[in-house]
């Protein structure tokens, strides 16, 4: 049981930790505890450099039941062993499975991977944390259910993990937190709660009604370290009669503002019912080519190259992807309204492809699958932009109101800072009815340590600059979690005081995911 190469949990000697590991093994079985440095590498930040990141676990545990989690918590509480919970740990743009606190013990829930229930009539599923989007999709297919899920760009992630981290997909249920209904949570003291109507034994509405009697704590367990979510209900869409995958291309950089103003009324009144995305041409180009195909100079790509891409790829400088779903007559009526709106946008090119919902899985080509809720890994090619097979990325994700002027102001700010670090500006803007969530992909070549360093430095600068302009991030990498949290300073950081009050009450020993989203237990924040 070699741990020499792994960091130790703070406050524990090597000998003490060896004792703790023995207790974990005795309680869970040896195959549930991993300490071999090579095996733990899978759980390091996948896109960081070994030399510059401390986010490494001391060991990893793979419980397969709620009872085993309770056993782990008993041991961790007794010896103040910090844990770091992940479901699948595929949150790669923000640090993957790696713990914020060096030496925390990884609590990896991927073995708890049962789809517990699929209810076709009321269109929901109840899943465990290890269930990936791929798994849920397959379970629905295998059961022959006329249901559709919402998937993020990559299907390998956990449905629960993605939702707890405020993830998005691109169907009408693309705001995954809004589709969550009912949770089972193991608290730090081992107590098990069920939220909403699940708090009543034998209740029939745990996955059909979001609230219960009294306060609703579900939001507390997202992006937090207040508990371990072991079951979650997820609302699914009835498979539509017709699915229409649509696009609009705008030729000029300056089209972004008018494009946003055109989209807003359409998403606000649900003429466009899904979560569309607007990407710049570089984002699009990175899915089908590499930087060296276009340019081999240093510094950010010049506008002339972006124009070149636009022409050669037949794309716009800004490219909108959206979808319509439902009975064909309604889809047709909605599309006409979209056409009329885009007719007022000079130069915009609009199009779409219709699919029959019943045969959706087999007939939809790759580029139209995500909006149809069909999971894939296609978009992984984007990270090869700089480094080819050794590419990596780090996402910076600020939110703006869905107004042309605001989105233009924010993208200009982000582009200016990104380019000032000599990096290319790649943006995908998720459109919600009232907000634009910009995902700025800071790609780098993992073999180029100076470029990696620049990307992380750039991300830090962006956090500060964006906050000055009034924009906060919806999600953040381990390395900037404290910095992002620091920007939320209303009333002298009242939010932090509130979160710490809850943390101390729910987890007095501070064992659950210390540092997650900038929330530290009492013992670790005294020096702050």
Q: Are the C-beta atoms of 356 and 411 separated by less than 8 Å?
A: no
Q: What's the closest the beta carbon of residue 509 comes to a copy of itself, in angstroms?
A: 14
94, 137, 275, 425: the active-site residue = 94
Beta strands 427-431; 435-445: pairing state: antiparallel
Nearest to 206 by CA among 198, 214, 215, 218: 198
Cβ neighbours for 8, distance < 8 A, ≥ 6 positions apart: 14, 17, 58, 103
CB nearer to a copy of itself: give 278 or 384: 278
Read off φ and ψ for residue 31, nearest 5 degrees: -70, -5
Instruction: Give the interface segment with a copy of itself, choosing from 40-48, 81-89, 363-371, 512-520 (CB under 8 A).
Output: 512-520
Q: How far is CA 161 from CA 157, 165, 333, in A?
A: 7, 6, 37
For the segment 86-145, give every residue that binds a copy of itself (CB under 8 A).
121-124
From 36-44, 89-97, 207-215, 362-370, span contacting a copy of itself (CB under 8 A): 207-215
Least spacing, CB of residue 181 vs a copy of itself, in Å: 8
| Three-class SS state of 186 | strand
Q: Does 406 bind a copy of itself (CB under 8 A)?
A: yes
**Are the CB atoms for 136 and 149 separated by under 8 Å?**
yes
Near a copy of itself by CB under 8 A: residue from 72, 437, 452, 459: 437
Backbone φ and ψ for 236, nearest 5 degrees, come out as -120, 160
Nearest to 207 by CA among 219, 217, 190, 195: 195
Considering the complex, state which of residue 68 and residue 513 has its C-beta at the smaller distance from a copy of itself: 513
Rule CB under 8 A: say whether 84 interacts with a copy of itself.
Answer: no
CB 72 within 8 A of CB 107: yes
Task: Tell the residue number behind the tokens 């919402």, with chain if given.
Answer: 150
Q: Which is nearer to a copy of itself, 37 or 498 (CB)?
A: 498
- Asked if 467 and 431 touch (Cβ cutoff 8 Å), the reply is no
**Alpha carbon distance 152, 174 (integer Å):** 8
CB of 23 to a copy of itself, least distance (A): 25
Q: Count of CB atoms within 10 A of residue 356's CB?
A: 12
Give the nearer residue to a copy of itself in terms of CB position, either 442 or 476.
Answer: 476
The distance of closest approach from Cβ of residue 233 to a copy of itself in the complex, given in angstroms and rounded to an integer, is: 10
How many Å apart are CA 401 and CA 407, to the nearest integer? 7
* 66 is an interface residue for a copy of itself by CB under 8 A: no
Q: Identify the active-site residue in 132, 386, 474, 496.
A: 474
Catalytic residue among 23, 100, 317, 475: 475
Determine, following the binding rule CB under 8 A, whether residue 278 of this chain makes contact with a copy of itself. Answer: no
Among 445, 473, 478, 520, binds a copy of itself (CB under 8 A): 473
Q: Count of alpha carbons within 13 Å of 42, Cβ hemisphere only? A: 13
Tokens (6 digits) for 343:
């007719």
What kind and span of H or E run contains 104? Answer: none
> Taking CB under 8 A as the rule, does residue 440 contact a copy of itself?
no
The answer to whether the Cα torsion of 48, 50, 55, 57 is positive or negative is positive
Task: Provide the phi-psi class of 27: left if phi over 0, else alpha when psi is between -120 and 50, else beta.
Answer: alpha
Footprint of a copy of itself on residues 308-367 (CB under 8 A)? 325-327, 329-330, 332-334, 336-337
The yes or no reply on residue 205 touching a copy of itself (CB under 8 A) is: yes
Which residue in the set 294, 472, 523, 525 belongs to the binding site for a copy of itself (CB under 8 A)?
A: 472
Size of the site for a copy of itself (CB under 8 A): 103
In this chain, which of 111, 114, 166, 354 binds a copy of itself, going by CB under 8 A?
A: 166
Q: Which of 64, 85, 162, 224 binds a copy of itself (CB under 8 A)?
A: 224
The helix or strand, by DSSP H or E, that contains position 296, with its residue range, turns out to be: none
Quick one: which of 467, 478, 511, 512 contacts a copy of itself (CB under 8 A)?
467
Nearer to a copy of itself, 24 or 471 (CB): 471
Which one, 287 or 330, has the nearer CB to a copy of itself?
A: 330
178-197 residues in contact with a copy of itself (CB under 8 A) are 178, 181, 187, 191-195, 197
Interatomic CA distance for residues 37 and 92, integer angstroms: 20
By the rule CB under 8 A, 381 interacts with a copy of itself? no
Name the minimum Å distance from CB 306 to a copy of itself. 28
Task: Please name which of 194, 239, 248 lies closest in space to residue 221, comparing C-alpha atoms.
Answer: 194
Q: Which position among 63, 155, 157, 240 is part of the footprint of a copy of itself (CB under 8 A)?
A: 240
Q: Which of residues 414-433 bind a copy of itself (CB under 8 A)?
A: 432-433
In sequence order, what are the residues at sequence separation of 6 or more whose Cβ sits closer than 8 angstroms to the Cβ of residue 81? 9, 12, 17, 20, 75, 105, 511
Which listed residue (7, 487, 523, 524) binds a copy of itself by CB under 8 A?
487
User: Which residue in 203, 289, 376, 381 binds a copy of itself (CB under 8 A)?
Assistant: 203
The verdict on whether 474 is a catalytic residue reads yes
Are the C-beta atoms of residues 165 and 157 closer than 8 Å to each other? Answer: no
Q: Is residue 410 a contact partner of residue 398, using CB atoms and an 8 Å limit?
A: yes
Under rule CB under 8 A, residue 231 binds a copy of itself: no
Minimum Å gap between C-beta 403 and a copy of itself is 6
Residue 219 or 302 with smaller CB distance to a copy of itself: 219
Supply the minimum distance, in Å, between the C-beta of residue 307 and a copy of itself. 31
| 475 a catalytic residue | yes
Position 223 contacts a copy of itself (CB under 8 A): yes
- Positive or negative CA dihedral for 132, 137, 142, 147? positive
Position 290 contacts a copy of itself (CB under 8 A): no
Query: What is the DSSP secondary structure assignment for residue 239, as one 8-state letter?
Result: P
Q: Per DSSP, what are the bridge partners of residue 106?
A: 60, 84
Q: Which residues are catalytic?
A: 94, 474-475
């Amino acid at each position: 049981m070699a741990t020499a190469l792994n960091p130790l949990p703070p406050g524990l000697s090597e000998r003490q930790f060896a004792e703790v590991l023995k207790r974990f093994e005795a309680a869970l079985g040896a195959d549930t505890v991993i300490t071999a440095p090579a095996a733990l590498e899978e759980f390091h930040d996948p896109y960081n450099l070994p030399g510059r990141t401390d986010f490494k676990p001391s060991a990893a545990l793979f419980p397969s039941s709620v009872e085993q989690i309770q056993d782990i918590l008993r041991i961790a509480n007794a010896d103040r062993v910090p844990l770091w919970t992940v479901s699948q740990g595929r949150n790669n743009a923000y640090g993957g499975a790696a713990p914020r606190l060096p030496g925390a013990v990884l609590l990896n829930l991927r073995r708890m991977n049962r789809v517990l229930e699929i209810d076709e009539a009321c269109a929901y599923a109840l899943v465990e944390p290890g269930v990936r989007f791929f798994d849920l999709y397959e379970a629905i297919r295998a059961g022959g259910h006329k249901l559709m899920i919402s998937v993020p760009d990559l299907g390998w992630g956990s449905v629960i993990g993605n939702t707890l981290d405020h993830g998005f997909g691109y169907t009408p249920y693309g705001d995954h937190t809004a589709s969550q209904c009912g949770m089972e949570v193991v608290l730090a003291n081992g107590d098990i709660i069920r939220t909403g109507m699940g708090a009543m034994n034998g209740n029939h509405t745990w996955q059909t009604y979001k609230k219960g009697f009294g306060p609703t704590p579900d939001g507390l367990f997202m992006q937090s370290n207040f508990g371990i979510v072991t079951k979650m209900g997820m609302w699914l869409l009835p498979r539509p009669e017709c699915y229409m995958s649509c696009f609009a291309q705008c030729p000029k950089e300056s089209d972004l503002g008018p494009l946003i103003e055109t989209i807003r009324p359409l998403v606000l009144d649900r003429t466009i019912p899904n979560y569309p995305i607007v990407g710049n041409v570089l984002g699009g180009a990175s899915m089908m080519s590499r930087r060296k195909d276009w340019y081999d100079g240093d510094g950010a790509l010049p506008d002339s190259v972006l124009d070149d891409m636009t022409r050669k790829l037949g794309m716009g400088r800004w490219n909108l992807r959206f979808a319509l779903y439902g009975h064909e007559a309604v889809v047709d009526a909605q599309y006409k309204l979209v056409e009329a709106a885009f007719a007022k946008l000079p130069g915009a090119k609009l199009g779409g492809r219709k699919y029959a919902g019943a045969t959706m899985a087999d007939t939809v080509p790759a580029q139209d699958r995500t909006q149809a809720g069909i999971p894939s890994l296609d978009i992984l090619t984007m990270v090869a932009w700089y480094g080819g097979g050794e590419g990596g990325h780090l996402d910076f994700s600020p939110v703006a109101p869905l107004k042309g002027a605001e989105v233009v102001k924010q993208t200009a700010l982000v582009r200016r800072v990104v380019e000032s670090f000599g990096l290319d500006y790649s943006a995908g803007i998720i459109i919600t009815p009232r907000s634009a969530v910009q995902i700025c992909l800071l790609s780098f070549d993992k073999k180029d340590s100076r470029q990696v360093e620049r990307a992380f430095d750039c991300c830090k600068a962006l956090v500060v600059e964006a906050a000055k302009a009034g924009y906060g991030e919806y999600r953040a990498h381990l390395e900037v979690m404290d910095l992002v949290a620091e920007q939320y300073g209303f009333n002298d950081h009242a939010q932090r005081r509130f979160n710490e009050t809850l943390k101390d009450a729910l987890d007095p020993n501070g064992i659950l995911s210390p540092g997650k989203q900038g929330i530290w237990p009492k013992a670790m924040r005294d020096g702050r």
